Amino acid sequence: MRLAPGWLQAEAPKCTNSRGQKQASNQKAGASSRTPRTRHFDATLSPHFAVIDNGRSVRYVLPGYGCRDSATQVGVRLRLQRRPHTMTGPNFTPSHHSWPSPAVAAPERSRYWGNPLWVNSKRAMDVGFSALLLVLLAPLLALLAAGVKLTSRGPVFYRWRVVGKEGRPFVGYKFRSMRPEADKMKAQLEALNEMRGPVFKLTNDPRVTRFGAWMRRYSLDELPQLYSVLKGDMSLVGPRPPLASEYVRFNERQKQKLAVKPGITCLWQVSGRNEIRDFDEWVKLDLEYIRCWSPTLDLWILLKTVGAVLAGSGK
């Protein structure tokens, strides 16, 4: 798809960090009547993302997210606007809202989510288990990396651009199990999609390499996600994060699954994931997890996941 050029207008709202508070006090002292500063950027736009070049650096963001990768841009809201003679990208609709939409209703939650003790214990378990597994599985990770490199051309890791809690984007990593041009081939396979809804799933995907198929059978390609758990982007247990290109097609109910931090494993993965063909059923399981979450449920899902991995039920 050819990208359409356009421009972004960035408005700087009130900052909440210490630097922003200092700026706010200075503005009150000497420039209370000034209008908010508006900055313009050159940008390349598509239906799902924008590449912004402000003359000093280039940023890759999704519409509505803001530039979260720069301290000088913290709190900046991006607003896509049409340039009439150039904004002609297919199916492109400018985004004028923050992400996720304020209209998204909060799902019903377990009482444990409101208890800091249990929430912090979940994070402590994430950090402890992910760090321990990364150390213990280091030899296996090295062997898998060598296997990917020796059996197919391309990088060892696949940069997994997904959406996390409350619609925040992040980049996770998997061992590459597909051909390097897999993302470009996806459009040609859309007609074969086995999942009803905005996500793509194909059992006998021709893009998967032979070594990649073996890794997927035992979910070994997912092991680098332990790094995302350690960083705090993911949890060991939680709804699976969607691709950014899938999230933009979610309806309001489907977005509710990201009310909590996404995870490596979830109810969907231990409840016959290979038999579920309707994404709404998948979402139903994720919302059920949010409604019924407890530390005991997390432990039960982890034990069921170990059994599923050892049984080689992945595809």
The C-alpha torsion from 246 through 247 and 252 to 254, rounded to 10°, is 70
**Same domain, yes or no: 288 and 198:** yes
Local structure of 161: helix, strand or coil: strand
**Same domain, yes or no: 45 and 73:** yes
Residue 129 lies in a domain: yes
Final residue of a domain: which of 99, 133, 151? Answer: 99
**Same domain, yes or no: 85 and 226:** no
Domains: count for the chain: 2
pLDDT at 106: 85
Residue 26 lies in a domain: no
Final residue of a domain: which of 99, 126, 143? Answer: 99
**Same domain, yes or no: 93 and 134:** no
Residue 106 lies in a domain: no
- Cβ distance 27 to 33 under 8 Å? no
**Same domain, yes or no: 51 and 10:** yes
Q: Which domain holds residue 85?
A: 1-17+32-99
Residue 61 lies in a domain: yes
Residue 104 lies in a domain: no
Task: Report which DSSP code applies to 98.
Answer: -
Q: How far apart are CA 283 and CA 276, in angstroms?
A: 11
Local structure of 143: helix, strand or coil: helix
Q: How far apart are CA 75 and CA 66, in angstroms?
A: 7
Q: Which residues pair with 43 in a beta bridge?
A: 6, 52
Residue 183 lies in a domain: yes
**Residue 29 burial by Cβ neighbours in a 10 Å radius (0-12, 13-18, 19+):** exposed
* Regions of the chain with pLDDT less than 70: 1-104, 274, 314-315
pLDDT at 276: 83
Final residue of a domain: which of 78, 99, 120? Answer: 99
**Same domain, yes or no: 134 and 281:** yes
Q: How far apart are CA 291 and CA 212, in angstroms?
A: 35
Q: How far apart are CA 54 and CA 121, in angstroms?
A: 42
pLDDT at 315: 64
Residue 105 lies in a domain: no
Q: How far apart are CA 222 and CA 173, in angstroms?
A: 8
pLDDT at 260: 95
Q: How far apart are CA 152 and CA 180, in angstroms?
A: 9
**Same domain, yes or no: 118 and 254:** yes
The C-alpha torsion from 272 through 274 and 275 to 279, rounded to 10°, is 100
**Same domain, yes or no: 224 and 152:** yes
Q: How far apart are CA 253 and CA 237, in angstroms?
A: 20
**Same domain, yes or no: 191 and 242:** yes
pLDDT at 298: 96
pLDDT at 277: 87
Structural tokens at position 309: 């991995």
Q: What is the pTM of this model?
A: 0.67
List CB contacts of 255: < 8 A, sequence separation 6 or more.
100, 101, 104, 167, 247
**Same domain, yes or no: 57 and 138:** no
pLDDT at 104: 64
**Same domain, yes or no: 53 and 145:** no
Q: How far apart are CA 271 and CA 301, in angstroms?
A: 10
Residue 186 lies in a domain: yes
pLDDT at 20: 45
**Same domain, yes or no: 159 and 209:** yes
Q: Which residues pair with 51 in a beta bridge?
A: 44, 60
CA distances from 1 to 46, 84, 184, 198, 303 (A): 9, 20, 10, 19, 43
